[in-house]
Amino acid sequence: MKRQNLSIKAKHVINLFALALIILFFIFLFVFKEKLNNVASKAILTQVDAEIINSASTYVDSLFNYQTNNLDYHLTLLEFGSTGCVSCKRMEKVLIEIKEKYPMAVNIVFLNVTLPENQYLIKYFGIAAIPTQVILDKRGEEFFRHTGFYSTKNLSVQIDTRID
């Protein structure tokens, strides 16, 4: 009888230990999600071939380098997301607010990651999770990146630091 009670107690201890490990794992993921996303992005970037780099950099330069294409924008906000993503839908409202706040200064471009024609840009920018916001300066060079929901207030701070 005592042996059976010990066995039951041991099972409870093992179950509690396993539960504690699972909880710690999720806490670890939450605390280090930005670092993990950066590692994943760098891994994607190492797999990009020269053809993608050339075509994407030409595309970005032709559309978002406002010093050479003579458009009046100061910045480009690239939003990598999906129409079926809950956080992306929340970001949609933020993008509308940013567009209203900076109508002539910020060019906002939504890139749906589910569309095949956007895959080379996803690889070029090393997008590992959505939503991801990438802000390009007037020369079409990235100066800011964030993954996940980002408020209008926080985006405005990033934009205000770069508008001429």
* pLDDT 10s digits, 47-71: 888 888 898 999 999 999 998 988 8
- Run of H or E residues at 19: helix 2-31
Burial of residue 136 (number of CB atoms within 10 Å: 0-12, 13-18, 19+): buried
pLDDT at 1 exceeding the cut of 60: no
Q: What is the dihedral of CA 132, 84, 57, 51, to 10 degrees?
A: 120
Residue 59 maps to a domain: yes
Residue 40 maps to a domain: no
pLDDT at 96 exceeding the cut of 90: yes
Residue 155 maps to a domain: yes
The CA distance from 97 to 79, in Å, is 14
The one-letter code for the residue type at 6 is L
CATH code: domain of residue 115: 3.40.30.10
* pLDDT 10s digits, 124-158: 999 999 999 999 999 999 999 999 999 999 999 99
Residue 118 maps to a domain: yes
Range of 119's domain?
49-160
pTM of this prediction?
Answer: 0.80
